[in-house]
Structure 1
Amino acid sequence: MIVETYSHPVNQLLTFGDCRKIKEKTNYIEKFGFTPEDIPELIRMAVDEELNWGDSEGLEIWGPIHAWRALGELRAEEAIDPLISIFDELEDIDWTSSEMPIVFGQIGPAAIPSLAAYLDKQGPNIYHLSVAASCLRGIGTEHPDSRYECVKIITGKLAKFQENDATFNAFLLLDLVKLKAVESAPVIQSAFAADCIDYWIMGDWDEVQFQLGLGPRKNPENIRKAKVHKEMMELLNNQGEAQPSKGFSSSIKKTSQKKSKKKKRK
């Protein structure tokens, strides 16, 4: 059994539970007593091919995600390159896109060079590359002193908008908007002018300017959509049924479903 190949306390992650059903945030260090001495074993679980690629319906397939989270809490710089190495391999785009930015945001600025190098690689598909960009965004958000460097790297990648896939450009744009990267506006505007950004994530240049705080919406259609959205949310809130935004991972899922092979953590 896989659980027998891992030592205590790391082996507890293999039976901890389905991440979809664990609603409360877990403090892994507090709950399991992890220390820096557990980092090598956590890294081994995080990249374990049998766990990441297994077809099992058991709880052990969630072990790697728990290990990612624990490594983030431990600020495990030793895990930077091992975690990045599995970007190309994992098909669970929804989980990597939602979890890895948090993990790397916790690990911090030490990960910036490796993430930047991955972002410049030839070969990874746009969804894996977008995870790396979002990890930079996570670092820039959690470590304001590193925000400028992260924005510069993401903007530099977007500046190659004519070479990039238009959907990938939209993912980069989303990260810049979340970082409130007003300084990137000239590059963003040029990418829109060249018709190199898909509108389905952030909308048009008018909407992006509004999101960056550069002025009010001017496009009547954007104003109409914003009004309808506000009315819908107010209605849901009044009914007590408002649901939280699914965020970036749900956007990727819509596009990547046709591109991915079988996913095990559905």
Structure 2
Amino acid sequence: MKKYSKEVEELFSYGQADLSSPWPNYVKELHLKEENSEELIDIINTSDLSRAVSGFTIKDFGARHAWRAIGQLKILNAVDSLLKALTNKKNIEAFEYQIELPKVLSLIGDDAIPKLISFLNDKNNDWNFKIIIFKALVNIAIQNPEHKDTVLAVFKDLSIDYEENYIFISSLLNILFQINPVDSEVVKEIIDKNKYDFGIIDEKAISKFIKDARMYE
């Protein structure tokens, strides 16, 4: 295995991590800094992220600690690698990476938005992966509501491109409801014309939207 600086090497012996526990403060505990950015990105690029789960070695968890540290350090130039890792075939079973990626990207923050939108607009990217990135975009809008209109514009474009994919549209809606898009005519039209999957949609969330938007009053 490639050797890294002392601080980064400690990620490979830090221990296991699970989805239910709070993330450690890697910056404080391991004294990681922006100077470690290239090394952290290299770990994402070269690791099999599917192995950063229980059942594999402690060393394999180094990649999970690395992607979390990237978020905590707000390493903007890591975004391309994070997105590429999502679609890389070697990470096809990196389900826990997929779960944690929206938080990592939202920690990086506002400056990541253009790259996230570019990913969402790329028709070569699988729509399942787009759900993950849309969640990151909404998380950023929750942190900074001034981006709500941007999220709504992205959703509008996706709803046009995937108008026949009700499962995808419903998955996006479930995420979008978190920012209470009551002024969105696009969302109202989708609901009014039943252009969503009744088995996927969050019933409580859509009922609340209909009430808050006063759709049928």
TM-score range normalised by the length of the shorter chain: 0.7 to 0.9
**Closer/same/farther in 2, CA of residues 30 and 207 from structure 1, 3 Å limit:** closer
Aligned to 1:231: none
> Where does 1:1-266 land on structure 2 (aligned, <5 Å)?
2=1, 4-20=2-18, 23-49=21-47, 51-52=48-49, 57-89=56-88, 90-92=91-93, 94-163=95-164, 165-184=165-184, 186-203=185-202, 207-211=205-209, 214=212
Count residues in correspondence: 211
Q: After superposing the two structures, state which structure 1 stretch, 54-63 or 74-83, moved more.
A: 54-63
Preserved contact between residue 183 and residue 213 of structure 2 (Cα < 8 Å): no
TM-score normalised by L of structure 2: 0.84
Give 1:208 shift.
0.8
Higher Rg of the two aligned structures: 1
* Structure 1 residues 209 and 143: CA distance shift in structure 2, 3 A: same
Q: Report percent identity of matched pairs.
A: 21
Query: For 1:159 and 1:60, how far apart are their aligned partners in 2?
Result: 44
Deviation at 1:88, TM superposition (A): 0.9
Q: Could you list the runs of 5+ residues in structure 1 that have no partner in the other structure?
A: 219-266
Query: Quick one: distance in 2 between partners of 1:100 and 1:21?
Result: 12
Alpha-carbon shift at residue 53 of structure 1 (Å):
5.0
Please give the per-residue CA displacement for 1:162-217, whole angstroms capped at 9, x wherever unaligned.
24x22111121012101222222x2123223444322233345x85141476169x
Q: CA RMSD in A?
A: 2.7
Residues 63 and 84 of structure 1, relative CA distance in 2, 3 Å threshold: same
Report the AA paired with residue 182 of structure 1.
V
Aligned residues of 2:50 and 2:93 also touching (Cα < 8 A): no
Aligned residue for 2:147, secondary structure, equals helix
User: Separation in 1 of the partners of 2:63 and 2:210?
Assistant: 36
Deviation string 1:66-106 (CA, Å, 9 cap, x unpaired) is 11111111111111111111121233464234311111111
